[in-house]
Amino acid sequence: MNLLAQIQERFRTALAGLAPDVEPFVAMVKPAQDAKHGDYQANCAMSLAKSLVKKPREVAEQIKRRLPLGDFLLEPEIAGPGFINLRLQVNWIAQQLREMAKSDRLAVHAQAAKTIVIDFSSPNVAKPLHVGHLRSTIIGDSLTRLLRFLGHKVITDNHLGDWGKQFGILLYGYRRYVDADAFRADPVRELARIYVKVRKEMKDDDDKTPDPVDDAARLETAKLHAGDEENLRLWKMFMPFSLEEIDKIYRRLEVSFDHMHGESFYNDMLPGVVADLLQKGIAQRSDGAVIISLDEDQPPSIIQKRDGAFTYTTSDLATIKYRMETWSPDAILYVVGVPQSLHFKNFFAAARHAGYTLVDLRHISFGSVLGEDRRVLRTRDGGTIDLEKLLDEAVEHARAIVDENSAELPEAERKEIAEAVGIGAVKYADLSQNRNSDYVFNWKKMLAMDGNTATYMQYAYARNRSIFRKGNVAAVPFRTDPPLPVLDSPFERALALQILRLEETLVAAVEDYQPSIITSYLWDVAKSYSGFFQNCPVLKAETPALRDSRLLLSDLTARVIQLCLGLLGIRTVERM
RNA sequence: GUCCCCGUAGCUCAAUUGGAUAGAGCGUCGGCCUCCGGAGCCGAAGGUUACAGGUUCGACUCCUGUCGGGGAUACCA
């Protein structure tokens, strides 16, 4: 049940005829920012007053008179320059809660189903994953879960960097430095050692003086692309080890992909793509290169360089061609860092020129992870944080606290709790950030377990479940035949309202592709629940009816928390 | 050079896209366990939203300029 949408629908009626297009004004109905202004507020009277040449408060009165209240809204109040403050009828809230309780998806509607390809994580194979890879991976995973929950068909595709220069580096290093015994014992570790060793021999990117190691690595890459047998053999040998390395992290993060079509997958298609675009007249030869000329003032997009090599735009065009032919999606989402904005702008323009005009191409960008010095963490600087190490550390830290607080629990359960809490903390710390903002990496914050963290939500959930255990109460009846809740106290009412905001929150989150909207909602729910928990005894409620009502509120809270955490890829635990 | 992003409490971040007295967490200080889990709760201090103008009923948000930081800029993607 989308509360906001229902209120807006009433305003659509009330505003009809007051403006040529009422939608912008309907959109000015939103949750009240301060509870003392009611539950929701409409800010449209002020801006409407201008075109109607009336006083804002008069317009507000007019809207108020035309607003169908029914058994849904209380008489609105007009305040300040012309705000219309809205309050919901408590009986209506109670009835909606009961409907939510009966639904196995908490009465969240499915949206009109779209087919969406989502391209995320996309690490460079053969390099150790670091904390920077976390963002694409878990933002993409969370959006996947959210879109699927809302009824969309989502195809996840990990566009691995499995064909690039890092293999040239590895090929060069392997021949010179491999320790055969070490490689046999632990190939991944040995390859990582080789990679780092060669990297250290190379000069900085901004150092333009000749770099023989860099040139040698480049040559190995070129040989690989040209089909050199020995390099190809080694590439095929390295790949499974490298894949296993990143797969280990994915298993731990509980992230999975429908497809892992890396760059190498598209290599054979590149000449065909260029030929095809030339033949259709979309691309032209220019000065020895092949380009797609874009409108506006943009420079052309080069799809084949003068030396015959292809660019990443070519590779991206091959990818889109494959995806369109294979899945014909309505949208393709690229969860890639903000530094690549310009590339995507140009690539999308080129794709439209190439005829992909109907598919919704979207760069879901995210900010960089910065070091304490506010500069982007880079592998080269040695300042980066190894992802596996981060996860280990988080789980260890959680484990220490579990052992301290819940020593009575069996070993296996404590281990499981530590994993859920530790991984959850790391994911939440990242997802609760506005996607587009850069953030400064901070161990303490990543591992934090108090304040606005996953642990806090997991704890609220566990405490909640504990009530049912303690009272020896089964939750099921509250889902099959729930009572009509009593919402007499402000704490009960506030919690109920938060619970009802579930669907509008998920819709807002998916519209902006913004998981942090879910985390702020969770925080609001948890705070409301705290107030309720503190002030409204459940098991010791004054009457059996009140006890049932509060059990229902508790159960709904638990389900909302579990659902939302689940959409972020974070587990709940029954005890912790 | 050109383009993009950012500058908000001591620190890390929000602010529902122009709304009412700019909010959280951490940290600091002070309270709360005869009471369903203290990984918790309640309270306090802390702000010229980098700066200067402008737009309007109203600006952290939009426009112009200045200062400071970061990033991108056809041969890694």
In the structure, how far is the CA atom of residue A436 from the C1' atom of nucleotide B66, in angstroms? 26
Q: Which residues make beta-bridge pairs with A29?
A: A42
What span, in angstroms and rounded, lies between the C-alpha atoms of A224 and A230? Answer: 8
CA angle A163, A168, A171 (to 5 degrees): 115
Q: Nearest-CA residue to the C1' of B74?
A: A302
In the structure, how far is the CA atom of residue A65 from the C1' atom of nucleotide B59, in angstroms? 31
Nucleotides of B under 7 A from a protein CB: 3-6, 11-17, 19-20, 24-27, 35-42, 57-58, 69-77
Closest nucleotide (C1' vs CA) to A47 is B57
In the structure, how far is the CA atom of residue A497 from the C1' atom of nucleotide B65, in angstroms? 46
What span, in angstroms and rounded, lies between the C-alpha atoms of A552 and A463? Answer: 15
Closest nucleotide (C1' vs CA) to A77 is B20
What span, in angstroms and rounded, lies between the C-alpha atoms of A4 and A52? Answer: 26
Closest nucleotide (C1' vs CA) to A403 is B39
CB A35 within 8 A of CB A57: no
Q: What is the pLDDT of residues A496-542, one digit of tens each?
A: 999 999 999 999 999 999 999 999 999 999 999 999 999 999 999 99
What span, in angstroms and rounded, lies between the C-alpha atoms of A314 and A308? Answer: 12
User: A550 pLDDT band (50/70/90 cuts)?
Assistant: very high
Q: What is the pLDDT of residues A273-322, one digit of tens each?
A: 999 999 888 888 888 889 888 765 677 888 988 878 888 899 999 999 99
* A427, A432, A435, A436 alpha-carbon torsion, rounded to 10°: -130
In the structure, how far is the CA atom of residue A187 from the C1' atom of nucleotide B62, in angstroms? 56
In the structure, how far is the CA atom of residue A384 from the C1' atom of nucleotide B4, in angstroms? 25
Closest nucleotide (C1' vs CA) to A402 is B39
User: A165 pLDDT band (50/70/90 cuts)?
Assistant: confident
Closest nucleotide (C1' vs CA) to A526 is B40
Beta strands in A371-433 (DSSP E): none
What pLDDT is stored for residue A295 in this prediction?
66
Residues 6+ away with beta carbon under 8 Å from A307: none
Q: Which residue has the tokens 């194979």?
A: A125
Q: What is the pLDDT of residues A398-441, one digit of tens each?
A: 999 999 999 999 999 999 999 999 999 999 999 999 999 999 99
CB A575 within 8 A of CB A405: no
Domains and CATH numbers, chain A: 3-88 (3.30.1360.70), 160-256 (no CATH), 394-567 (1.10.730.10)
The whole-number average pLDDT for the span A33-58 is 91
The whole-number average pLDDT for the span A61-87 is 95
Closest nucleotide (C1' vs CA) to A122 is B77
In the structure, how far is the CA atom of residue A284 from the C1' atom of nucleotide B24, in angstroms? 55
In the structure, how far is the CA atom of residue A5 from the C1' atom of nucleotide B43, in angstroms? 37
In the structure, how far is the CA atom of residue A148 from the C1' atom of nucleotide B13, in angstroms? 29
What pLDDT is stored for residue A179 in this prediction?
94
pLDDT at A379 over 60: no
What is the ipTM metric for this complex? 0.95
Residue A161, class by beta-carbon neighbours within 10 Å (0-12 exposed, 13-18 middle, 19+ buried)?
middle
CB A548 within 8 A of CB A397: no
